[in-house]
Structure 1
Amino acid sequence: MAQGSPPRWRTSTRVLVWAAILSVSAVSNALVEVMDAGRHGEALAVWEPLVWEFSSLAPVLLTLPLLWWGCRRWPLHADTWKRRLPLYLLASVGWSLLHVAAMMLLRKGTYAVLGGHYEDAAGWLQRLGYEYLKDVRTFALFVALEHLAGWFGRRRQGEASLLAAPDVGPPVEPVERPHHFLVRKLGKEFLVATGDVEYAQAAGNYVNLRVRGHDYPLRITMAVLEGRLDPAVFLRPHRSWLVNRGHLRSIEPLDGGEALLHMGDGAKVPCSRRQLPLLRQALGG
């Protein structure tokens, strides 16, 4: 990975933040359970509701990275949400089943270690239905927050598009070899010269264009983008990367025949063993 990738919270940091938030909620809920039991004249040890709450909390935290990965893998956009909504509903069922199974195992195991016996008054079907009604709301909340954060990040980061031929009159430039990209950021539009793109990295159905310390996602495949750019300027050191030779500073050979390309902004771009001789030939030419 290049050092110039767009800044994101690390998954571990995000999990720790959510762990702190949900732990406060779990402790509060446990204390409410104890106080409610006391009001009804029942004796309830504090450790029991704590076990209930944290046995439910732990599977949620453990599966959050998987949920975030799914949101990035199948993002919800204006043109995709209707098609992908059934997929998310199916995923919520699987997520709930995993949550309930792990929660019950944790409760039984913790009670056994503490010398007690956990008995669920509800049957499995009733428990699954009850928990799913809660889990689907939690699932929807995390999905909504993830997509909202992604949308806000894209608004701040901006998005790029290839300039198309104008509706009226001759094109300003050949569409096959664009001289500029149109960048949208925070409701404004900018023209970015193709020569200002330092490198590009494939990211699923997008390619991130690196320009003066910022990444602008362009909805295109790397193969199509390579065909549209000038091969005398942009080189393909790796199947997932294009680099502007004007921003390449040095080549660091690695064991096994690969190399790292040191770019002007300090990023390190991988170069495959197969592409390294071609890259050197192109630079020499």
Structure 2
Amino acid sequence: MLVFWVLAFGSAAVSNILTLRIDAHRYGLDAGTWQIVTNEFTSMAVSLLMLPFLLRACDRWPLHADTWKRRLPLYVLGSIVWCLLHIAGMDLLRLAVFSLMGVRFEPGSLRLQLIYEYLKDVRTFFIVVAVWHLVEWFGRHARGEASLLDAPDEGPPVEPVDRPGRFLVRKLGRDFLVATADIEWAQASGNYVNLRVRGRDYPLRSTLAALEARLDPTVFVRAHRSYLVRLAQVSAIEPLDAGDARLHMADGTVLPCSRRYRESLRSLAAGTDPAPGRT
């Protein structure tokens, strides 16, 4: 994905350089090629440096059908912050390059620069947001998006309905049933929880706390604020100096275990009650 964004921003910068160079020649503008290249690549560099933070925000506060109205104003505010940081960053880089070349850097009117850059930056900002959401949407549907099934479709329920025995996974237009007994662990990811089943992740629209409340606490144990593990899948608990631990899972995966949950998990694994006052 990093290569995609570098190519996207890089190709846009090269295209702008060629266009501006042609305009400078056509209209007799006093703009050297090195100045045009500096202006475009400093803009690209700052955008790429800020990009991981924007993608992280998209992951943390995604726009869905039930959240976009509430979160859209935050994204608009984010576009303004993006623009201000973009201007500050690229102007500092341009000042450094122009100084090395022995040329005075003149950014011009700040008010006009803010208007001019925001008109460009707001498009870039929301194109990135739209691409991220499109990729995430396709990824969820390609991997399979899970939903809870409280009771069997036919016959009497074999367990209380508040302990789901199966999850319905819709993947590329087809429905599959995933047994709760096959889930190895669950990982929080924004508004979703990724259910790990035989090396595959199935996103479930839920919080980790809500999922934990629905599952058997003697079978699924919280190991970290972002992880809920099936106790039977834990093959070893490796203590760390800071009080945390690493969980070695049956498939060879290593997961974090925070100090807050370490003793509780060890007690449950040993078949004893957690010590009083421990969570």
Residues 1:46 and 2:33 aligned together = yes
Residues 1:76 and 2:63 aligned together = yes
Residue matched to 2:163? 177
TM-score, with normalisation over the residues of structure 1? 0.84
Return 263-272 or 163-172, whichever deviates more: 163-172
Which structure would you say has the larger RCO, counting Cα contacts within 8 Å and 6 or more residues apart?
1
Measure the CA separation in 1 of the matches of 2:249 and 2:44: 44
Measure the CA separation in 2 of the matches of 1:73 and 1:223: 16
Return 206-215 or 257-266, whichever deviates more: 257-266
User: Match for 1:141 among 107, 115, 127?
Assistant: 127
Summarize the alignment of residues 199-214 of structure 1 with structure 2, pairs less than 5 Å apart. 199-214=185-200
Q: Percent identity?
A: 57
Q: What are the superposed Cα offsets for residues 242-279 of structure 1, whole Å, 9 maximum, x if unpaired?
A: 22233222333333443322112211122344544433
Identify if the C-alpha distance between structure 1 residues 49 and 191 changes in structure 2 by more than 3 Å, giving closer, same or farther: same
Cα displacement (A) at 1:108: 2.7
Residue matched to 1:157? 143
Gaps of 5+ in 1: 1-8
Identify if the C-alpha distance between structure 1 residues 41 and 136 changes in structure 2 by more than 3 Å, giving closer, same or farther: closer
Residues 1:215 and 2:191 aligned together = no
Compute the RMSD of aligned alpha carbons.
2.6
Contact 2:163 2:216 in 1 (8 A): yes
Q: What are the superposed Cα offsets for residues 4-41 of structure 1, whole Å, 9 maximum, x if unpaired?
A: xxxxx5xxxx1x54234433432343233333333334
One-letter identity of the residue aligned with 1:240? S
Residues 1:281 and 2:242 aligned together = no
One-letter identity of the residue aligned with 2:132? E
Measure the CA separation in 2 of the matches of 1:192 and 1:37: 62
Cα displacement (A) at 1:156: 1.2
Residues 1:35 and 2:22 aligned together = yes
Residue 206 of structure 2 aligns to a residue whose secondary structure is: coil
Summarize the alignment of residues 1-285 of structure 1 with structure 2, pairs less than 5 Å apart. 9=1, 14=2, 16-42=3-29, 44-121=31-108, 123-164=109-150, 173-285=159-271
Q: What are the superposed Cα offsets for residues 205-234 of structure 1, whole Å, 9 maximum, x if unpaired?
A: 432211111112223333332332223322
Identify if the C-alpha distance between structure 1 residues 209 and 117 changes in structure 2 by more than 3 Å, giving closer, same or farther: same
Q: What are the superposed Cα offsets for residues 90-117 of structure 1, whole Å, 9 maximum, x if unpaired?
A: 1111211221222223223321220111
Contact 2:59 2:190 in 1 (8 A): no
One-letter identity of the residue aligned with 2:50? T
One-letter identity of the residue aligned with 1:199? W
Residue matched to 1:3? none
Contact 2:24 2:31 in 1 (8 A): yes
Contact 2:221 2:230 in 1 (8 A): yes
TM-score, with normalisation over the residues of structure 2? 0.85
